[in-house]
Amino acid sequence: MSKEIVVLASGNGSNFQSLINHIEAGHIEANIRCLIADRPCPATKRAKQHGISYYELPRHNDRMLNLHVLAMLCHNIDLIVCAGYLTILDSHFINLFPNKIINIHPSLLPKYGGKGMYGLNVHQAVLDASETESGCTVHVVDSGIDTGRILAQETVTISPLDDARSLQTKVQEKELRLLPQVVKALLGSRVNA
C-alpha cells in the first residue's frame, strides 16, 4: 500500500512542488494526503493545480481547535513534512507523532536556527558572520526550534559576490533535491525518522 504524506507550508511551496514532481514522476512511491497551510499562500494554488486537498488553518485560531484538526488530518500518517511552515507546532502535536515529523531548514544546523531564523534573515546572518559556506538541513522535529536530530545536509559555497537573495537561490536549489531524497529514504525504510 502506498505511503501517505501530509505537507505543511506557509509560503511559495517550491519544496512542496518538488515533492509533487518526484511523486508524479514515480521517483517516490507515496500519496500526498493533503497540504495544510497556516495562511493564504501560493502553496495552496499548487495543491489545487495537482488535485491535492488542502486546508487553511489560520495560526490565530483557537489553539486546541487547530491541534485537533491537525491531529485528525494526520491520523495514521507515515510522514509529516514541514516545508516552509512558519507556525511553531504545538508540543502536544509533536508528541502524537514521534519521529514522524521532519522539517527543511535553509542553513547548516545547528548554525543559524531558532527563533527569527527564517527566510532572508537566515542568509543575511550567515553573510554577516562571514561564513564561507552554507547549505540546508533536513531534521526531525522535536519540541525545540530547529533542534531535532539532523537527517541530512547539503552545502553550498559562498562567493564574495553573494547577497542574501543570491545565497537563498543557491541554497534552495539544493533543498529541492535534498528533501525528496530524504522523504524517499524514510518512506522506503521500515523504521521511523
Contact positions vs ligand GRF (CB under 6 A): 9, 11-15, 83-84, 104-106, 136, 172, 175
Q: How far is the CB of 6 from ligand GRF (least distance, A)?
A: 15
Q: How far is the CB of 76 from ligand GRF (least distance, A)?
A: 25
Order of strands, sheet of 79-82, starting from the edge strand that comes earlier in the sequence: 54-56, 30-37, 3-9, 79-82, 101-105, 133-140, 150-157
Nearest residue to ligand GRF by CB is 84
Q: How far is the CB of 99 from ligand GRF (least distance, A)?
A: 19
- Closest to ligand GRF by CB, 106 vs 148, is 106
Q: How far is the CB of 119 from ligand GRF (least distance, A)?
A: 7
Strand partners for 1? none
Residue 123 designated active-site: no
From the candidates 27, 68, 92, 105, give the one annotated as an active-site residue: 105
CA angle 35, 36, 39 (to 5 degrees): 125
- Closest to ligand GRF by CB, 68 vs 146, is 146
- Closest to ligand GRF by CB, 8 vs 70, is 8
- Closest to ligand GRF by CB, 171 vs 190, is 171
Residue ranges of the alpha helices (H) in the chain? Answer: 14-24, 42-49, 63-73, 91-96, 120-128, 164-188
Looking at the chain, the number of H-run helices and the number of E-run strands are: 6, 7
Contact, 12 vs 176, CB < 8 A?
Answer: no
Contact, 111 vs 135, CB < 8 A?
Answer: no
Q: Which residues are catalytic?
A: 105
